[in-house]
Structure 1
C-alpha cells in the first residue's frame, strides 16, 4: 500500500483509538520476552490465500428503469443522493451515501445499511464505523483515504432482494466500482460476497478473488465484530490479506 499512516500523523484521540483496536485484537502486553509481529497473520490462521479468478463481469449500462447511469463518480454520487430509481427506494427515506476518494488504495463494500447507518448518512455508522477506523489505522491506512460504499443506499433490516432487485443492485454497485476504480476491494459480509462472487462469506474468506480485475477479499461485517467474540483476529487476517495484495 502507498503512503502508509505514520505515528506522527495521528492526533492523540486517533492514537488512543488505534491503541483500543490493538487491545480488542488481543494485544495485552507492551513488551514480550520473545518478539511477535502483531501485524502478521492472526491466529487462528485462515487457509493460505489462493488467487481465485472470479468470472469477469460486464459493466452495466442501465439502472432499473432503463435510464443511462452517470459516467463520472461525482455524477454517480449525485444520482445516489437524488434518484428514485434505486434498489429498496422509499420516498423520504434517509440514504447511506458512499464516501472516499476515487482510485483509493482500498474500497470497503458492505451489505444493506442499518437504520443507524442511514441516520448518519454513511454506509457504516456508529460503533461499527469507529471500529472500522481503528482497524484501518492499525493496518497503516488513513480511514478518509478508503472508499466506502453499501450495496444500496436504503436500510432494509431483514429485507430479501427479489430477483429483479438483486440484478438492479448488482448492476448499480458494479457501475460504482468501475467509476471509483479502487486498487483493492474488501467485501464486508455475506450479502456482497453472494451477490458479487456467487458464494457465501464463510467459503469466500481466506483467499484472493478478482472482481472485474480488482484484487478482492471477503471478511465479516463490522457490526459482527462488536463486543467480545473470536472474529476480530480473523477479520484482521482478512484485512492483511487484501492490503498485501
Structure 2
C-alpha cells in the first residue's frame, strides 16, 4: 500500500511539473527580468547579432538617413509595441542635446516628448540656462512607450547603441541626460562620475539629472538639479 502511494505521488508530482513547464514556467528563479506583458510576436523576433555572432547591420551615414531609418526600419524594438513613434526633433549641431528614456503617457497623447506638467517644468529648466526648445535637439532612447513601461535588457542595449550613432550624427556641442534609466544606459557604472560622453564619432561634455516627472513628485530633488544646471551654465559660457 505504501509503495502504491509513493508511486502515485511521484506520478502526480511529475504531471504537476509538466503542466507548469507547458505553461512556460521552467525554472524557479531566473537571472533576467521577464516582461510578461510583451506580445508573443516580440518573443518570436530573431535575436540581434552580438559580438562574434555576425557583422552588425550598417548604420545610416547622415542624420536625414538616420531619421528615415528610425521611422521605417522594421527591426527597431518599437515596431512590436502599440502607439506611434515620436521621432527626435530640433536642429543638428545644437548647443545642447537632451535625451530622455521614453515618452510619458501624456507625450503619447500629445505626439511630442516632455508634454503636460513635466514639459512645463522642463521648459523652465531650459529658460534657466538661457535656451528654449527651438534651440535644442530633443530625443528619447525609445521612440514609443512599451506596455507597463517595461523594457528588456536586449532592447535597452540596442537603444543605447543606436543613441550613440544618433549623437554622432546630430553633432551637438554638449549632452544632457534625463532620468535614471537614461543615465544607466548611456553612462556605464565605470563612467558614472565622468563628465565626458563617448559616442560613435568621439566625445563631448555630458551632464545628467533627474527626469522632470520625478521632480514633480519629489520637489526636494530640485536643489540637486539646480546645482547641475549651474554647472551646465558655466560650461556653456566657456
Which TM bucket (shorter chain)?
0.5 to 0.7
Paired residue secondary structure (1:226): helix
2:76 is the alignment partner of 1:86: yes
Partner of 1:12: none
Higher helix share: 2
Map residues 1-245 of structure 1 onto 2, 5 A cutoff: 64=48, 67-90=57-80, 93-156=83-146, 158-199=148-189, 204=192, 208-212=195-199, 213-226=203-216, 229-245=219-235
Paired residue secondary structure (1:108): strand
> Higher Cα Rg: structure 1 or 2?
2
**Unpaired stretches in structure 2, ≥5 consecutive residues:** 1-47, 50-55
Partner of 1:42: none
**Which aligned segments of 4 or more residues in structure 1 are displaced greater than 3 angstroms?**
64-67, 157-161
Q: How many Å separate the matches in 2 of 1:233 and 1:147?
A: 25
Write the deviation string for residues 67-107 of structure 1: whole angstroms up to 9, x where unpaired: 43222112212222233321232366211221111011111
Structure with the bigger RCO (C-alpha within 8 Å, sep 6+) is 1
Q: How many Å separate the matches in 1 of 2:156 and 2:68?
A: 22
Write the deviation string for residues 145-200 of structure 1: whole angstroms up to 9, x where unpaired: 11111001010264443332122111111111110111110110111111111139
Partner of 1:19: none
Q: How many Å separate the matches in 1 of 2:225 and 2:217?
A: 14
> How far 1:120 sits from its partner (Å)?
2.2
Going from structure 1 to structure 2, the CA distance change for 1:108 and 1:219 (only over 3 Å counts) comes to same
**Unpaired stretches in structure 1, ≥5 consecutive residues:** 1-63
Q: How many Å separate the matches in 2 of 1:235 and 1:224?
A: 11
Going from structure 1 to structure 2, the CA distance change for 1:91 and 1:109 (only over 3 Å counts) comes to closer
Q: How many Å separate the matches in 1 of 2:111 and 2:97?
A: 18
Task: Report how many residues are paired.
Answer: 180
- RMSD (Å), alpha carbons: 2.6
Paired residue secondary structure (1:105): coil
Q: How many Å separate the matches in 1 of 2:169 and 2:214?
A: 29
